[in-house]
Structures are given as C-alpha cells and as structure tokens.
Structure 1
Amino acid sequence: MIRIALREKEKRRRISPEEGPIRLIICPSRELARQTYEVAGYPPLRSLLCIGGVDMRSQLDVVKRGVHIVAATPRKLKDLFAKKKMNLDACRYLTLNEADRLVDLGFEDDIREVFDHFKSQRQTLLFSATMPAKIQVFARSALVKPVMVNVGRAGAVNLDVILEVEYVKQEAKIVYLFECLQKTSLPVLIFCENKADVDDVHEYLLLKGVEAKIRHFFLQSWGKDVLVATDVASKGLDFPDVKHVINYAMPAEIENYVHRIGRTGSETTLLDLKHLLQEAKQRILHVLAELNDPMEEAESIANAS
C-alpha cells in the first residue's frame, strides 16, 4: 500500500485538501491501530490515526489537509462518518487487520456499514494468522468471489519457535510461573484467560520483586520487563525482542494459542495442541501423547475393515 501510494504520488498531482483517504486499514484495537499507523506513516505520505483517546481536532486537521492512509478502529471510524467529517469517495483499498478478531469482537455489522460508504470499486484484503470457519463465512458473504492466499498453512505455528508444554496442578501454577521467569531473559509475555488471573499474577510478581505491567490500559511502551495480558495483546501486536511467551492457561480455542506464541483448555483444545506440536516436530508431553484422537481411531477401524 505504501509503495503504490508513493508511486501514485510521483505520477499525479499532490493530494487535495479534504481528499482521501485513498487507503483504509481497520484494526480491532487501539494498540494495533497505533502500531499500524506508525508503520504506514511513511514520509512524505500523510497518514491519520483514528482511534478513541486522541484529540478529535488534531484528527480533523489531518483530514482537512488531505490524507493518503488511515489506520482506524471500527467505532471511531463510524463516529467520523456519522458526523460527516470524513468520506471514502476516493478510497480504493481496504484492509481488515486481524480480521478474525474483528469478527470475534462483534464488529461485523460495523464493517459492513463501512462497506456502504465506498462510492467506487475497491480491493479488500483480510489479514490473519488463522482462518477459522467464521471468518471464511464472513469473507464469502461480504466480498465478491474472495480468494484465499496462504503463506504456509493457515493456523500452523512458526517452526522457529520452540514449544514447551508442562503439566502443572492449579495450586502450583503461580509458583512454577515465577520459576520459569527466573530461567529466561526479558522481556517476557504472560497470557492469562481473564482479567482476574491477570491481576492475581501481576500482584504475585510484584510481591516477588518482578517489574511487571498489566494490559488493562492503553499500551504505548512496556519496556524490557514482563507484560501480563489477556488475548487482547495476542492479535497482531508487535513486541520487539520478546524471548519467552508463557501461557498461564491454555486458551479455549487453538487459534488463540497460535496468535499468542506468534508474539515471538479443554481436551479438544489439547488435542489440537498435540497436532500442532507433532507438525512442528516438538517434544510432546506424556499427558498429550496419551490423548486419543477419535478421527484417527475411526480411520484405523475403516482401514482394518
């Protein structure tokens, strides 16, 4: 998008006041929108960060001068449209960053409303590390003859990431977590399933003298320390130099596990985890190795008969 925008800028007149955006990127969270904006803000292009918590007047000043690329969250974008402060008359490219997360958070209707603001043909791109059925259904219903492009297998883990699984009883988990932190260099990400666990882990680590931060607030910089977060920090965000990602509990869906470890359960989820480890040629804990796959058993019976 940046390359095309620069090429167009060289070939045509400068962008006019109140013209644009030419390209729109929608993100599920303010943090991801900010990081996307920082990448897209390539000089001499004019870019706009459209999120809550940012002064509206400064956003409107960028729009009035003309803007090439906008990185936005759905609700803030919807608010600008409702106030007739911005339009998509000149927009040709739409990107949904972490599209599955946008659907998970209930933004599907908001995104469809954004589609209605386009006045001419556009190219729409949906990005995600996983492609669960729900996002495929959304793509087929919202786009015209969508094409899926996979880099590797969608939902597979990065082979450069070493995966280690340990079976720890609930009452011993937080002590074992502290032991793990003492064995690795910082920064470290710790993922919990809910805010209550985030608070408990954070309080425990502070008592142990660990400089930990929690992800309940707007994240701009977390430094060379420990970040304790829910899955809100697992989708798309870039955390440079992370050495270790710890899953304090397995997520309910295997897709969330893939997103979490990319920043560097139930029995069904554990079975999915076993398959991921097998595919990545990683050590498989005996607890996982003993899990029986009903599909494999059915295939064995069919072959035997």
Structure 2
Amino acid sequence: MSFADLGLSDELLQSVVAAGYDTPTPIQAQAIPSVLMMRDLIGIAQTGTGKTASFVLPMIDILAHGRRRALMPRSLILEPTRELAAQVAENFEKYGKNHDLKMALLIGGVQMGDQVKALSEGVDVLIATPGRLMDLFERGKILLTGCNLLVIDEADRMLDMGFIPDIENICTKLPAQRQTLLFSATMPPPIKKLADRFLSNPKYIEVARPASNNTSIAQHKVKCGSKQKRELLRHLLRTDNVSTAIIFANRKTTVRELAKSLKRHGFAAGEIHGDMDQSSRIAELDRFKDGSISILVASDVAARGLDVKGVSHVFNFDTPWHPDDYVHRIGRTGRGGATGRAFTIYTSEDAEAIANVEKLTGSPIPEITVDFDGKGEEKGVRRQGREDKPREDRPREERPRDEKPREERSRDRGNRRDRSRAEPVAETPRAEVESVAPRSETRTERRARDERNDAHVERSDRRYGRDDRYEQPRREQERSRGRWRDNDPPSKPGEWNGPIPEFLGVSALV
C-alpha cells in the first residue's frame, strides 16, 4: 500500500514524496481514511510509528476547502509540551507547502504579542498547549466557536501533567458538532473516560498492544553501584559505537550535573529540561539535530513525541518512576523503521521500578554485564588536575598522602615512629633557635597594646552606660551609702542589722 491508495490529494502526495516517504505506517494506513470520512477516532500505537502524520495529512486536505476568520481558528491541536507543539508545526509546514493554509503556534515561554497578532489575522490550524490557550481565551483574545476539528495528542502525557481538567474545560467551549481525534501510546482508565465523554461513536484503532515496545530496539539493562553510574555511562558511550544518543534522567538537577560531567570528560553534550526558557530549549534541540552536539541529556520533557532522525542510542541514567515513561523514552530511537539500542543503568534501589517496567511491557529486559574498572576515578582526579585514570594506577610518588592505600599509610606511620625512637634528635644550636623563635614583644609595644585595649573597653562601657568616669564603681558606692559593713562587729540580738537609709543621717537642725 502507498499513500496514493489512502485518498489524499495530488498536492499533498507531492509534499509527502518530497519529504522522502512513500509507504504509510500501519497507524497511518488505518487512521487517514477514517479521518477523511470525518469520523471520531481513538488511535493507540507505540511511540515512533508515525501518529503525527496520521492526523496532519488528512487535516491538510480537509482544511484546504473553506476560509479563515479573525480570532476564530478552524481547527485545534492540543499538545502537552512546547517541543511537541513545535514539532507538529514543522510537520504542517513540511506537508502543507503546496496549500494556502495559515498556522499559529500558542506555547508558553514566549511573548503573546506575535501570537495575538497571528490570531487576529485568522488561522486555519491552531497548535497550542492547554495553559497558554486558556490564558488567551480568558483574556478574550480567541474564540473557539468556529473550531470544527479537535486533536488531542499524547493524551496519556496530558494526564501525567495534570492537563485533563483543562482539556475538559476546553472541550466545553467548542461546538458540540465537531470531529475529535485522540492519539496516545497508552490508554489508562482516565483517558478512556475522557474519550467516552467527548467522542461520538469513535473508531478504535490499535496497531500495537498498549505500552508495548518497538521490536526494532535492542534493549539491555546493566546493574552497577550508585557511585559507578557515571563511569559506566561514559564506558558505554565510548565502546558501543554511539553516533548520537539521548540520556534521560529523572531530576532536572541530575540533568544539569550529568551534562557538565560529560563536557568535562570531552563529550559534545547538551541539556534540556523544564527549568530552561523556550529559546534555550529550542537552541539545544537545533544543535542536536544539526550535529553540533552528539549527546543530549534530557528530562522527561523530551520523552514524548520528540522526533530526531538518526538517534542510535537511548540511555536511561535513572530508571523512570512511571513505567509508561520507559516506553516513550526508548522510542526516541529506532524510529521510521530504523534500528536502535537502549540501555537502562540501574542499582539495587531500582529493583522495584525495573520490575514495574517489565510487568507493563510483558517481557523481561535482558541484562548484560559490562567489564569496566568501576573504581570511581572521577572522585578527586579532576580536582587534582591529573589525567583521567584510577588512583591505584598512578605511581606511588604521584599520589597525594591521603590517596595512598591504608596499609601503606599505617606502615609509613610505623616507620616514622621507629625512627624517632632509634635515632636521637641532635640538639639545635642556640643561635638557630633564636633565629627561628618568634621575636618577643618590647615594653613600648606592650604598653601601646594595653592602651588600645583600654580604649576599646572604655568605648564599650560608654556605649552601654558603664563609663567609670561618670559613675563610681557599684561596690564603692554601696559602701558609701552604708549598705555594706564589712568591718562592723555583729549586731546584738534584737537590734536592726539591715541597710540604714540615708535620710536617717540628715538632721533637720542643720
């Protein structure tokens, strides 16, 4: 079967052939005719099988007839991430170059001015993330009453990112009589409930069991210690014939630190994660696509739908927390019928996560043993400015004192102790002692130091109201008032022995 058998227009077929495709994938062969027939559709297929073209191609032919109006897009495509939205926009530009269609991209991280201007001129295809779309809708910058075609792409990712309430809200703003297409790699129960609510008698297409792996990807798992993961990753990058690779980590901080570590060891690496602004993320992706960098360290923001040709390897530096993410991660390689390799580096703490992945995919991941010198050579080597080799392989005279083996350090201490006992220390001449000993303080210097200290105490006393120049010391003052009688004899029984008030010593006759 060829694309010409699917009922596409001649102009669209020319664009497809110019892009280098002639045979549709299974999901494309089943979905395109149904979309052209204006039916609702649920498409389930493993990642990397061409789901994007299965709705982009028929949409171009459907939208070729009709006119656009200001602020009222004719069709809407919802994507979970900015990267996926930009990728779908590239597909529309590539396949729709022979059609007079106008497209707008609504994503966060960029200014709204250009987006609002494009909407005011009228668009045929609106590609948006739910957050930015709702923001513009609440500002009154867009109307959805003229949208007759809705596409919800990567629906399970929408669920993971918490976009399902926004999607339900968006669907209520659209016309009731519309065509809705839902595509995903997995079909969890909440997505099924969403489809039952907003799709009308949809056609269900499933070209692969949900969450199944691509058979063209050779999968392996490698176990190591938690402190050996970076060294093992570098060993695999150097020895497994890697041309281009994507390395996935669970945390954004891990992505940043791992990218810096790879750069220090001479790899052409870049990074992409959620904390980067949109321009930086696009720039890193462009560098990876044009070959400026061969390794891209990424979080799960790049795990869904990212289509880069020629990715030979995928490395899971961290075992994914959600089993579904494993399928999407390794799907970045082995795309379009090509072959790829995927490695998952795990530790004993990741045993449960690996078991969940194998349970979801229905098959165990083959484990391999990699022979590498896992002695953590990165620890301390770079700080010393030495070449990249383990400590034990360096000559003894090159090792710092704290890097010698424990046996050598204890033996050295024992030797020094024995030498101190066996060899008496020669008496140092007095002249040498005087030259080495610190100089004693002169009387003038000592007097100056005392004056400085007294001045400091005086300033402190004046600050806190304890200046002796204006106040008599308390003990002397109390003695003068008769409150202390250190030299008085003991009082007789029955006599007053307390403090004597001052007014008793004042006579009225004076």
* TM-score class normalised by the smaller sequence: 0.7 to 0.9
Asked if residue 30 in structure 1 is aligned to residue 112 in structure 2, the reply is no
SS of the aligned residue for 2:170 comes to helix
Alpha-carbon separation, structure 2, partners of 1:269 and 1:137? 27
Match of 1:228 in 2: 297
* Equivalences, count: 283
Q: Deviations over 1:74-130 (max 9, x none)?
A: 111011111211112221111111111112111112111111211341222222212
CA shift in 2, pair 1:278/1:117, >3 Å:
closer
Shift of 1:153: 1.0
Map 1:137-216 onto structure 2 (within 5 A): 137-144=193-200, 148-183=204-239, 184-216=241-273
Indicate if the aligned counterparts of 1:193 and 1:231 stay in contact, CA closer than 8 A.
yes
- What one-letter code is carried by the residue in structure 1 that aligns with 2:248? F
CA shift in 2, pair 1:273/1:106, >3 Å:
closer
Q: Deviations over 1:242-270 (max 9, x none)?
A: 11000012112211000000111754542
CA shift in 2, pair 1:16/1:277, >3 Å:
closer
Alpha-carbon separation, structure 2, partners of 1:95 and 1:177? 39
Unmatched 5+ stretches in structure 1: 288-305
Match of 1:39 in 2: 91
Asked if residue 113 in structure 1 is aligned to residue 169 in structure 2, the reply is yes
Alpha-carbon separation, structure 1, partners of 2:133 and 2:365? 46
Indicate if the aligned counterparts of 1:192 and 1:229 stay in contact, CA closer than 8 A.
yes
Alpha-carbon separation, structure 1, partners of 2:362 and 2:171? 41
Asked if residue 248 in structure 1 is aligned to residue 330 in structure 2, the reply is no
Match of 2:178 in 1: 122
Structure 2 length-normalised TM: 0.52
Indicate if the aligned counterparts of 2:245 and 2:296 stay in contact, CA closer than 8 A.
yes
* 143-152 or 116-125, which deviates more: 143-152
Match of 1:270 in 2: 354
Shift of 1:201: 1.2
Q: Deviations over 1:163-210 (max 9, x none)?
A: 111111111111000111112333210001111221221121111011
Match of 2:121 in 1: 65
Alpha-carbon separation, structure 2, partners of 1:285 and 1:276? 17
Alpha-carbon separation, structure 1, partners of 2:176 and 2:358? 47
Structure 1 length-normalised TM: 0.84
SS of the aligned residue for 1:214 comes to strand
Aligned match for 2:148, one of 75, 83, 92: 92
SS of the aligned residue for 1:228 comes to strand
Alpha-carbon separation, structure 2, partners of 1:137 and 1:250? 29
Aligned match for 2:70, one of 18, 25, 43: 18
CA shift in 2, pair 1:11/1:204, >3 Å:
closer
- What one-letter code is carried by the residue in structure 2 that aligns with 1:260? R
Indicate if the aligned counterparts of 2:104 and 2:126 stay in contact, CA closer than 8 A.
yes
Task: Name which one, 1 or 2, has greater alpha-carbon Rg.
Answer: 2
